[in-house]
Each structure stands twice: as C-alpha cells, then as structure tokens.
Amino acid sequence: MSTAAAVVRRDLILAARRWPEFALPPLFLLIVASLFPLAVSPAASVLALIGPGVIWVAALLAALLGQELLFRPDYDDGALELMALSSRPLAVIGTARVLVHWFVTGLPLIVITPLVAVWFSMSPAATQATLIGLVLGTPVLSLVGGIAAALTVSLKRSAPLLALIVLPLCVPVVIFGTRAASLADGGVPADGPLYLLAALLVLALTLAPFAVGAALRISLE
Amino acid sequence: MNWSWFHKLGSPPHLYRIAGGLVPWFGWTALVLVLGGLYGGLWLAPPDYQMGDGFRIIYVHVPSAWMSMAAYAFLAVSAAIGLVWRIKLAELAARNAAPLGAVFTALTLATGSLWGKPMWGTWWEWDARMTSELVLLFLYLGYIALHDAFPERRTGARASAVLALVGVVNLPIIHYSVEWWHSLHQPATITKFGAPSIDTEMLVPLLLMATGFTAWFATALLMRLRVAVVEHERGAAWVRALGVRNG
Amino acid sequence: MAEFIAMDGYWMYVWPSFGLTLVALIWMIAAPWLRLRRLLR
C-alpha cells in the first residue's frame, strides 16, 4: 500500500507542476459541448434530449486526450524501467497512476458538468443522474484507457491507435450512463443503470490492474 | 501418446509442410460443403411463407455471423496460449485469424444490411445484433492495428494478445448492454416479417454452409500461416530451396 | 430460370449478398495463395 501512496504523492506533485496539461480535458468538454447547439439546434427541447449523450461522448473523448501521456514521460526518461526493476508490483504502480490521472482529469470534468447541463437545459434530475453516472463511469474509462496507454507506451504516435482501441470497449459505459440520465429525466428512478455502472467499476478495478501490469511489462521488454 | 508432431509445429519448415499437407483436406471439404449448401439453399429449400425467396440471404448471413464470433474466440484462445506459453505458432494463428474474422464480420454487416432493406425498409437499423457486430468489427480492427504498430513482431503479438483478452471480458458486457439498450428504444420501423420458421429442408443447407464456412476459415488460416512462415524466414536455406523448386 | 433469378422480386438483395460473400471467400483463399507464389519467386 505504501507503494501506491508513494506513487500517488509523486504523481500529484508532478501534476501540479504540469497543470496546463490537466486543464485541457475540462476545457475540451466545454468547447465540444458549445458546438452542439450551433451544429444541431439551439431549441431547448432538442438540447435537453441530446445533452447527456453529448456530455458522455465529450467526456470519453476528453479522457482520451491525456491518456497518451499517462506513462510516456516515465517511459522516456527510464523511470518506468526502474519501477519495473523494483520489487514492487507494476500492477499497483500502474493502477495508482491511473487513479491519479482520473483525479486530475476526470474529476474536473465532473465538476464543470453542471455548467454544461445548464447550457443544454437539462432537468435537475437528469443532471443529477448524469453526475452520479460520471462519478461511477469515468474511472472505468480511465482504467480501460490505462490498459491501452500501457500497451502503446513504447510506440511513437499512439493517439489515433489509442482511440481505436479504447472507444469500442467503452460502449457499455456510455449506454448505461446516458440511459440513467434519460430515465431520471422521465421521472423514473435511475438506479438500475447506475448499479450496472457501479458493477462495471468494480469489475474494472478488479481486472484492470492485472492487465495494466502485464501491458507495462510487455512494453518494457 | 507421441507428442513429437506437436513439437515439430514449432519448427518453421515443419509447420510449412504440415500446414501444406492439411490445406487440400480442409479446402476440398469446405468447397464441397459450401457448394452443397448453396445448391440446397438457393434451389432445394422452399421459399419462406412470409418472406418468399428473400429469406435465402440467411444462408450467407447467419454462417458469416457465426464465423465472426467463432474467429474471435479462436483468436482470443490462440492469443492467450501465445501470451502464457510464448508459443510462436499460437501468436501467428491469432494474428492471421484476425483479418479473416474481420472480413466475416464485415460480411455479416453487409448481408444484414441487404436483408434489412426489404425486411425493415431501411439499409441500417440500430438493431441489437447489428450494433454488436459493428463493435466487434472495431475490436478486430483495433487488434490488427495494435499488433502491426510494433516494429518488433513478437512484442506486437504479446501486446495485442492482452487487448484480445480484454476484449473477451468486454464482449459479453457489450453484447448484453447493447441488447438491453435496444429493448428500451422501440425501433421506429416495425419488422415486416416474424422470425422465419425453420423446417428441415431449410435447416440442412444452413448447417452445411456453417460447417463449410468453418472449414473455409481453417483452409485460409493454414494458407496464411504458410505465407507468414515463409515471410519471416525469408533468406533461410529451406525457404530458398523451396523457391528454387517452384521455379 | 428467370423465376429463379428474380427471387420473388428480392433479386436486388439476394444476389448482391451471395456475390459479396463469394468475393470474400475467394479473397480469403486467393490472397495467401498469390502472396506465397510471389514470395517463392
């Protein structure tokens, strides 16, 4: 556990120093979301309908933005290799780093979501369901993205490849997340899809560390 | 039991020879089954009482769908074997199964679309199975792209094997989430025809086609393995000897 | 025979389906075959 704590501490310090990198995803969400009223229709009824979907897709794409740099700097300067040589499991180190990444990119995204919800005339119930969904779902996106980032860390240009790998795997998260919002919007309890999202989170937290660890080992071979 | 034949598969010239020996067996079986299935499906089977002759698309659509999933299962098992025991043959099998599976998946989507036009009145319907197949196609393409992105082939094989296994965990979740999602969104168009009732005369050609496609996949895979072995061993004495013999 | 080709009016959907499948199946066999022949040249 002390390994994880050390990694978390170090990564948080590093993140604070490179803060512009981490301000990008929320900004990205805002910009993408602001395009939809212009591209589709500014009518409140249309926006309320597409709002949760836009937020989820934009969150997914925003989460992808930073993934390429998740392990890259440590790979380039050799720190990752040293971590692999230490007696501490790479799975723990990698997962701790993914969670920090979620903390500095996923969380700000959730914080600005209410603003986007207002832009899209979403009902309070739909906003609330979207927020809970994002809290449960974005860590899953980060973990799945973490596996892909670990797999592609040794490649030079990995961003397009990352998108191709990660996006299809995130289909269930998007389905459950948007469904919760539309149920809540209709005045029906959104517990079902939210529980399913929670189940996905538990599954991802259980299995992703092994995949991240194995992927990092392969990339370092 | 004598396992020497198995260990021989690890040696490229033996793999080349053994695969070459198996190709005609699988190939002729596949051809006979597919031709039989085509004859039975297009000619002998009676027209469906609702869909008329339009239902005959089932004879290419369903076997393709079956192969699209069977090929992924094969790919994942091979990838896992390659990852755990570092068997080169398994790595080659996984990589070479992928484009075949992707083609079967694309074929499923294309024939499904051609079937959907008269059935649903539209070329594309966000039907649960079609959507799942679409995601499966993306998974295949992601696997191939990741595998080939690495300059070192064996690293690519190991990295993409991890992805294939993540896909195996994810595929059932994707499938059920899509099905659940679809059941909640009532489709705008009403299906014009119910599920076609299958009687024996209709079923036998379908089974022939399905087994024929499987044998076809095996044939193509064995041929691709031979190509891969020759490609990787270019310049080796035994490959040069082959080249001389073939003129 | 004309009736067979017409496929109850569904010829526009049935024949492209079978045609595409045939092309794909032939590609699966022909591509490695041609490639091997070229490699062994």
- Residues B61-93 pLDDT 10s: 999 999 999 999 999 999 999 999 988 899 999
User: Which residues lie closer than 8 Å to B126 by C-beta, 6 or more apart?
Assistant: B182, B185, B187
Q: Which residue has the tokens 């499906």?
A: B41
Q: What is the pTM (predicted TM-score) of this model?
A: 0.91
The predicted-structure confidence for B179-220, as pLDDT tens digits, reads as follows 888 776 644 444 444 555 567 778 889 999 999 999 999 999
d(CA A39, CA A46): 12
Query: Would the ipTM clear 0.95, i.e. be above it?
Result: no
In percent, the amount of chain A with pLDDT more than 70 equals 99
d(CA C1, CA C6): 9
Q: A49-76: buried (b, 16+ CB within 10 Å) or exposed (e) per residue?
A: bbbbbbbbbbbbbbbbbbbbbbbbebbe
Is residue B144 predicted with pLDDT exceeding 70? yes
Indicate the average pLDDT of chain B. Answer: 86
Q: Which chain C residue has its CA at the smallest distance from B26's CA? A: C29
CA B125 to chain A, closest CA, distance in angstroms equals 17
Report CB contact under 8 Å: B181, A200: no
Tell me, what's the pLDDT at B244?
61
Subunits touching A (CB < 8 Å, at least 3 pairs)?
B
**Chain B residues close to C34, C-beta within 8 Å:** none
CA C22 to chain B, closest CA, distance in angstroms equals 9
Average pLDDT rounded to a whole number, residues A79-99: 87
Of A158, A161, A218, the CB nearest to B162: A218
d(CA B63, CA B56): 12
Report CB contact under 8 Å: B162, A211: yes
Report CB contact under 8 Å: A161, B146: yes
CB neighbours of residue B70 within 10 Å: 18
Average pLDDT rounded to a whole number, residues C11-39: 92
Average pLDDT rounded to a whole number, residues B142-170: 93
Under the banding of pLDDT at 50, 70 and 90, the label for residue A211 is very high
**Interface residue ranges in chain B relative to chain A, Cβ cutoff 8 Å:** 135, 138-139, 141-142, 145-146, 149-150, 155, 158-160, 162-163, 165-167, 169-170, 173-174, 177-178, 180-181, 184
Contacts 24+ apart (CB under 8 A), C15-23: C16/B114, C17/B57, C17/B60, C17/B61, C17/B110, C17/B111, C17/B114, C17/B115, C18/B38, C18/B42, C18/B57, C18/B59, C18/B60, C20/B60, C20/B107, C20/B110, C20/B111, C20/B114, C21/B60, C21/B64, C21/B107, C21/B111
Contact C/A (≥3 CB pairs under 8 Å): no
